[in-house]
Amino acid sequence: MMPDSFELGPIRPPSEAYSLLIRATKNCSWNRCKFCHIYKGQRFELRPVEEVKQDILAAKAIQDRIKSMAWKSGYGGSLEAVAAAVLQNPPSEAYANVAMWLYYGGTSVFLQDANTLIMRTPDLVEVIKFLKKTLPSITQVTSYARSKTAAKKKLEELKALHKAGLSRLHIGLESGYNPLLEYMDKGVTAADHIKGGKNVVASGISLCEYVLLGLGGKKMWREHAVETAKVLNQIDPEFIRVRTLTVKQGMPLYDDVQNGSFVRSSDEEVVEEEKLLIENLDCHSYFVSDHITNLLQELEGKLPDDKDKMLAAIARFQSLSAEERHNFRVGRRVGIYNELDDMEDEQKHKLAEHAIEKLSDDGKQVSDEMIYHLMERFI
């Protein structure tokens, strides 16, 4: 009898929230970035292909049990209803993952962990083919990768992966500014980013590049924005997704913040940085702000068509009075506001005012340190 569980890694992109998670590799093959704490202290491992296949079979067994329950229960064969019921009290985290996956259609899979592309290409092809054969409802297979790994892969290898069923790669570009990449010990250069990104695009695999707003701090924010845009313009990925730097204990960058060698940007400074980034983008990507750490999460659209709309949203925020900008910042960071339009809601506005009174020393101004602390809850 197949087990009720299989191995799961710690993270996946927000856009893969409803994907089946299959751990093809363990931890991160680089694991030195100053701004990341996820895999620190953990050794990278290439999981044996047969071990990954056993996890896929375990996922199928859980899927089959849930489907069987749907037919035997009083739900009239409704898979969604049974999956929802299973999610109320799942026997394991893996069981919950399969139930969630089925509830949302059972079509997408995300291969964990941080750099699945580092696997031998024939091994990764074998895993993807086995995955699609075992679970034929799958139409999309995605994974994280590193630019340097993508740059080292031959185009023919990437095309073989695409043919096998690899639909999209998520790459942490973070920045295109070489001094900043070196300072953050990213292990890549702007040239690596460009080569790796272009390889992926040329293979037919959809590419999502991640940019870390605020990564340059007060010292390098301008170069970070401009040089990152230059790199993205050359790659022209399908998606650009932005995140905002959050620093917490366990990250090497935390020590730099504590000793003053790295000074973080405020929310308003990050918005100015994001404005400069968008102004300099000349590509055909979807710009996506799908992370709770971002102050202006409504900044989304297709470039270049929606550039003016996004810049108008930034101008709207920047044109608010200092008091109202502060109200939005605090309201956003405590979860009252999702977007600028929420400020029109009188009740939400008052809740934000109460939050300011509670979180500030003088009842009027919440410190940047407190804002940073509020952001840390989400990573």
Give residue 287's pLDDT band: very low, low, confident or very high (50, 70, 90). Answer: very high
Report pLDDT digits (tens) over 167-193: 999 999 999 999 999 999 999 999 999
- The reported pLDDT for the residue numbered 3 is 65
Average pLDDT of the segment spanning 263-269 = 96
Calculate the alpha carbon distances from 323 to 94, 320, 344 in Å: 46, 8, 15
Checking if the pLDDT of 200 tops 80, the result is yes
Cα 102 to Cα 84: distance, rounded to the nearest angstrom: 9
What would the pLDDT profile of 220-258 be if each residue is shown by its tens digit?
Answer: 999 999 999 999 999 999 999 999 999 999 999 999 999
- Say whether pLDDT at 75 is over 70: no
Residue with token string 């299959």: 22
pLDDT at 219: 97
In the structure, what pLDDT confidence band is assigned to residue 81 with cuts at 50, 70 and 90?
confident
185: left (phi over 0), alpha (psi -120 to 50) or beta: left
Q: How confident is the model at residue 82 (pLDDT cuts 50, 70, 90)?
A: confident
Q: What's the pLDDT score for residue 80?
A: 86
Q: Which residue has the higher pLDDT, 16 or 74?
A: 16
Query: Could you tell me the domains of the chain?
Result: 1-145 (no CATH), 168-319 (3.30.750.200), 321-379 (no CATH)
Whole-number percent of the chain with pLDDT over 90: 90
Give 125-154 pLDDT, tens digit per residue: 999 999 999 999 999 999 999 999 999 999
Q: Where are the beta strands (DSSP E) in 184-229?
A: 206-213
d(C-alpha 356, C-alpha 49), whole Å: 53
Is residue 2 scored above 60 in pLDDT?
Answer: no
pTM of the model: 0.94
pLDDT digits (tens, 9 = 90+) for 358-373: 999 888 899 999 999 9
Is it the case that residue 96 has pLDDT exceeding 80?
Answer: yes
The dihedral over CA atoms of 252, 258, 259, 261, expressed in degrees to the nearest 10, equals 70
Q: Is the pLDDT of residue 76 over 80?
A: no
